Structure 1
């Protein structure tokens, strides 16, 4: 019996290695995964709600994966939390963050965590958790005004976020046919889904090295 790495090494020794650029579909497959239920309100990940009318037929449904207790496979990009990608039997479904119209710039996981701390510190009650809307406001303020304020940590977070936004990543595949199939059966998309969001990229080590040669 061979491990996957041992099998791969033996096949490379026999057949050789051909480097191939990752496609948008490959990119989606390699993203981190969360297993979530699809509820009436959508999908919840780390106090964020993602939803789209196309999820309609899958709400409160069993995914068919007994080993995952019927939860659905949700892929997300830690450097672009404005949307997630849900694997369904009919293809990928892109579900945007319901509050993304309130944020004028892309944001990463570390940006969200810092904005959440700011929102909770600014809350009226000490032990009361900030709402998703309050975090969205703090997030937008962090990304648009951090460089002008006294919050040095916020300024560093905002600068790091802008740097990540300049990285390159493969073009994501077009929405699956499932989007068109169910769009007419669902309610119109809320205004939050119509916002223009610039996606983050993946750090390209080779391209970065070229800059320093």
Structure 2
């Protein structure tokens, strides 16, 4: 990125003439006189930055990026995490590129489904190199030559100017001094890998490079702690014919060439090598067959020199399989109906009540009050324990049972409303001839100590509610929420072998007198 920013970009075949510097507002004659590299360049100025604000991306935290900025005297300032205002200019630039360029490219999918056009999958597919070429041409022809709101003259703040016109104004005021880099400095801008030199040389991206000067570093220590015999090997993805070993001890470079370069007559790039590799794999070849891939690269360059076939399509379409008629004709329910005329639409009258009472209007069904709920949203019910006899276990030892004092199982149920409480009682307790009929349920129950009527002749203090129907009081007692007590069927101690209805899986605690 820095290497492309510090050098003029040459115009590419097929670009519009308006994308060239000689057709733009840049001082083309003065720039060519100072820097001959500007001849035939694109309408994009060369600017050497003083400071770069970066985020926490992997490429900006690399050793290569820090070394290049230190060599060029560029300050690097990292932006704060999750703080878009530290690089607001970059964020706004991304939004402008999306609005003015990306959405007009065929096959643009949008940032989400709401911004996605129709039949996107049926459009042409672009490779990354083709998209990069389109973006470079758009930057030189549109972005650099369109007025921006952020670029204004201090003397005429009401006039907006384009980046190329602002650059021409600054060149006229301050002058232009080109700072071309030397070959050694340009090589330091290239990416590198730390590799060990073997008797076959070094291998980068499935390509082997070797030379006589490179063999002098075979099995030689790099004198860098932690690197051993691994040396810096610089390479260019745009010109992978050569690689360079950097000897930091003498600040010198050792060049090595691709061993099968004689099979490739034209210039080629990393992308060409990848495309040739895919073709070889499709034909049943191997990825490590460098000689065959080199011949395929030469064949691709030869076809590119002849140009595209006028009979063949330039952009391949997506493979969708055989064409099958899967659409079923569905009649349109609105066919034949005229479109509504907005002028004939009558406004609905206003409501005579609030909107929140519209759904409840006319509903005369009595509704029971809402049951109280706890903090978890569950119904709050009083805890009452009712004991029932459980099947006797044959593997437990028999013996005398020691009475165990437990809490009272009697809980008088008192309804808080005027509704009858007999709906929850068994049929034999009520006097209703039709006990199966639906009855309103209680809205709230509270637990209080049992207070039976004093007029009951069978009342004995300390008794429990009797479960025998013959010993139960009249239905009026149960309808009022009370139950009679007797000592015959309600002993003070719970016999062994009973289980709780609330915890049916829990066995009763054995007595201390029963041997284990």
Structure 2 length-normalised TM: 0.25
Report the counterpart of residue 287 of structure 2 in structure 1.
Answer: 129
CA distance in 2, matches of 1:153, 1:130: 30
Residue 153 (structure 1) shift: 7.3
Report the counterpart of residue 117 of structure 1 in structure 2.
Answer: 278
After superposition, the C-alpha distances for 1:116-158 in whole angstroms (9 at most, x for unaligned) are: 111111225xxx435000110111101112435669579xxxx
Report the counterpart of residue 195 of structure 1 in structure 2.
Answer: none
Residue 5 (structure 1) shift: 5.8
After superposition, the C-alpha distances for 1:52-71 in whole angstroms (9 at most, x for unaligned) are: 01122211222222233431
Report the counterpart of residue 45 of structure 1 in structure 2.
Answer: 204
Report the counterpart of residue 30 of structure 1 in structure 2.
Answer: 189
- Superposition pairs for residues 3-82 of structure 1, below 5 Å? 8=74, 20-82=179-241
CA distance in 2, matches of 1:152, 1:69: 50
Shift in alpha-carbon separation, 1:131–1:9, aligned structure 2, 3 A: closer
- Corresponding residue SS for 1:80: coil
- Corresponding residue SS for 1:110: helix
Report the counterpart of residue 68 of structure 2 in structure 1.
Answer: none
Most deviating of 32-41 and 142-151: 142-151
Structure 1 length-normalised TM: 0.58
5+ residue gaps, structure 2: 1-50, 54-72, 77-176, 317-516
Report the counterpart of residue 363 of structure 2 in structure 1.
Answer: none
Matching residue within 244, 256, 262 for 1:95? 256
- Superposition pairs for residues 58-207 of structure 1, below 5 Å? 58-88=217-247, 89-90=249-250, 91-123=252-284, 128-146=286-304, 147=307
After superposition, the C-alpha distances for 1:148-185 in whole angstroms (9 at most, x for unaligned) are: 5669579xxxxxxxxxxxxxxxxxxxxxxxxxxxxxxx
After superposition, the C-alpha distances for 1:25-78 in whole angstroms (9 at most, x for unaligned) are: 111111111111111000100110000011222112222222334311011111
Q: Identify, as 1 or 2, the structure richer in helix.
A: 1
Highest RCO, 1 vs 2 (Cα 8 Å, sep ≥ 6): 1
CA contact (8 A) 1:119 1:130 kept: no
Shift in alpha-carbon separation, 1:43–1:153, aligned structure 2, 3 A: farther
CA RMSD of aligned residues (A): 2.9
5+ residue gaps, structure 1: 11-17, 155-213
- Is the radius of gyration larger for structure 1 or structure 2? 2
CA distance in 1, matches of 2:238, 2:313: 22
CA distance in 2, matches of 1:58, 1:153: 47
